[in-house]
Chains A and B, each alone.
Chain A
Amino acid sequence: MKIVVLAKQVPDTRNVGKDAMTADGTINRAALPAIFNPEDLNALEQALRLKETHPGSTVTMLTMGPGRAAEIIREGLYRGADGGYLLTDRAFAGADTLATSYALATAIRKIGEYDLIIGGRQAIDGDTAQVGPQVAEKLGLAQVTYAEEILDVDEAGRKITIKRHIDGGVETVTAPLPLVITVNGSAAPCRPRNAKLVQKYKRALGAQEKAAATKDGAELPYSDLYAERPYLNITEWSAADVDADLAQCGLSGSPTKVKAIQNISFQAKESKTLTGSDKDVEELIVELLANHTIG
């Protein structure tokens, strides 16, 4: 089976420190570590399991982002993916979910052969859960979202059985291949990096990373390796490489526009400040009982 894993490098919004906001109230992205989107790791695990149970399968990573997002491809390779593509172009900047899906769909068409396209349910920087279904629609494929586990793949019958989460319960569905699947965070966690694969791929770099490493005239460390071992070159694709229509990419391909961004400052209420002393807690309980808030 040919499996494409969609993964995104995201700012770690769950660990926002005090320096994450600048004095003028904008986000200090540099202060936020970039991580592998958590639910995309759950998706990668499902893909790697299929590779194990269906010998001959390949797992291809696909991500979109700046040059440093090649890290996502490496993390995939460290865990057992066979290769990957970094979709990177200034033309993709400012994309909303629709323009993002368009770009990813053109790249998937360029990859050509696929039975399964699998990604996380949503990314923690937007929480929209829109890209998976939109990629499915753009490719004219069926979709199964909120997947918990792939139960069975019938390759000959081109059919897959999936357990998925629904509101208030679970359901099991069968769906045709090729298919787009998005995976829930409650699915099996991703395996750790494999030490041998880390050794094999730790010097894998994308073109922009190589350029950054040599920008002051420095020589690329181990530069001979890259011709010798082609798998250490992470392929970067531009908008032109995937024949993307620029009008549908980035900001111009995004129907939604951000009208206003407001920083959070709460209207302070008049509040009573208490300590944790017995006296303070007892008085509070007595007051709440007296005005029938409790009891």
Chain B
Amino acid sequence: MNNVFVYLEIEGTTVADVSLELLTKGRKLADRLGCRLEAIAAGHGLADIEKQVMPYGVDRLHIFDAEGLFPYTSLPHSSILINLFKEEKPQICLMGATVIGRDLGPRVSSALTSGLTADCTALEIGDHEDKKAGKVYENLLYQIRPAFGGNIVATIVNPEHRPQMATVREGVMKKEILDENYKGEVINHDVAKYVHETDYVVKVIDRHVEKAKHNLKGASIVVAGGYGMGSREGFDMLFELAKELHAEVGASRAAVDAGFADHDRQIGQTGVTVRPKLYIACGISGQIQHIAGMQESSIIISINSDENAPINAIADYVINGTVEEVIPKMIKYYKSHSK
């Protein structure tokens, strides 16, 4: 009762990175609250899951192993969480802000009438005073996220309803092995007790998952372009610079929305979070949603013709100039000095 739960996203028989990151965060929250960390695995052929997740400090692992639970469909996984949560009454439930998490989370929260905050960029524990009702709530989950197009950062709390649910994008939290030999309890549940036959109504008849075309998340240098790049052709220049620097190319949401770059290159709250040693922001104004996805970069260079671009405030080097002027020079001088 009253523990922290993490829903494990499983592709085939492998737990997704985002879930391991949430286990690390969940472990810290559980320690802070003095409760246990529990994880839920639903899929098929899950014998190996225990080995994958226990080192992150899982006290109890709930396994639901049945044909029909992979690939994921909404209703069976929803029923597992809804019925398990009615028994276990968690205080917190975390899941990845992935296609699966964003399909599953709202459905579960609706059934349990519990609050859900999407795409959190930070999770903390703190108190909350409802002055109107004259009530103080201790140890609530602060669900922190940019809102309103990234112009503000909101802290959301769920004072009365449990579990407090939040989704978090991959890469936002850091994963850390707690103890290779951590021993938690494993519970193998009877799936039929939780999932009704009629839940298996959506059938996956065809499925293609490809390995990512690039390694933006793990790149040590990122060259990112914004709306200021002007066109898809403008991005060619960034690919050229990236090739020289052995970097990956990223983009702001504005550039992706404008069709200058592919969606899988989007950096920010609703895209990928990166922590490279060098981040070169080209023609990016720097909305908070974008900043949220790159602010932990070690060194930030901003190239912008607008001296007052918000991103300049967090940059280590600000180059006041146009991308068309500066980037070819960077390529030229890198070539001449690196040899």
**Which residues of A are at the interface with B, using a C-beta cutoff of 8 A?**
11, 13-14, 16, 20-21, 27, 96-98, 101, 124-134, 136-138, 142-146, 161, 165-176, 186, 254-264, 266-269, 271-276, 278, 280-282, 284-286, 288-289, 293-295
The 8 A-B residue pairs with the shortest CB-CB distance in the complex, in nearest-first order: A276-B321, A13-B149, A255-B115, A256-B115, A130-B106, A255-B161, A169-B209, A133-B106
Query: In the bound complex, how far is the Cα of B276 from the Cα of A274, in angstroms?
Result: 22
- A266 / chain B contacts, CB cutoff of 8 Å: 291, 310, 313-314
Q: Which B201-228 residues have C-beta < 8 A from chain A?
A: 201-212, 221
Interface residues of B: mostly helix, strand, loop or mixed? mixed
Contact pattern, B 286-320, Cβ under 8 Å of A = 1, otherwise 0: 01100100000001010100000010111111111
- B98 / chain A contacts, CB cutoff of 8 Å: 167
Query: In the bound complex, how far is the Cα of B211 from the Cα of A166, in angstroms?
Result: 13
Query: Do A288 and B310 contact each other (CB < 8 Å), given the known contacts A97-B106, A258-B155?
Result: no
- B257 / chain A contacts, CB cutoff of 8 Å: 14
Query: In the bound complex, how far is the Cα of B53 from the Cα of A88, in angstroms?
Result: 48
- Say whether B110 contacts A176, CB under 8 Å: no
- Say whether B333 contacts A282, CB under 8 Å: yes
Interface size on B, residues (CB 8 A): 90
CB closest residue in chain B, given A126:
B147
Query: In the bound complex, how far is the Cα of B130 from the Cα of A283, in angstroms?
Result: 56
B118 within 8 A of A: yes
B263 within 8 A of A: yes
- Say whether B202 contacts A175, CB under 8 Å: yes
Query: In the bound complex, how far is the Cα of B333 from the Cα of A282, in angstroms?
Result: 6
List 15 contacting pairs A-B, 8 Å CB cutoff, sorted by A: A13-B149, A14-B254, A16-B149, A16-B151, A131-B106, A142-B74, A145-B74, A175-B202, A175-B203, A257-B159, A271-B315, A272-B318, A273-B320, A276-B320, A280-B319
**Which residues of B are at the interface with A, using a C-beta cutoff of 8 A?**
71, 73-75, 78, 98-100, 102-107, 109-111, 113-119, 128, 130, 142-143, 147-161, 201-212, 221, 245, 254, 257, 263, 269-270, 277-278, 287-288, 291, 299, 301, 303, 310, 312-322, 325-326, 329-330, 333-334, 337-338
CB closest residue in chain B, given A280:
B319
CB distance from A33 to the nearest CB of B (A): 12
Q: Which of B105, B151, B245, B319 contacts A20 (CB 8 A)?
A: B151
Q: Which of A131, A173, A257, A273 contacts B204 (CB 8 A)?
A: A173
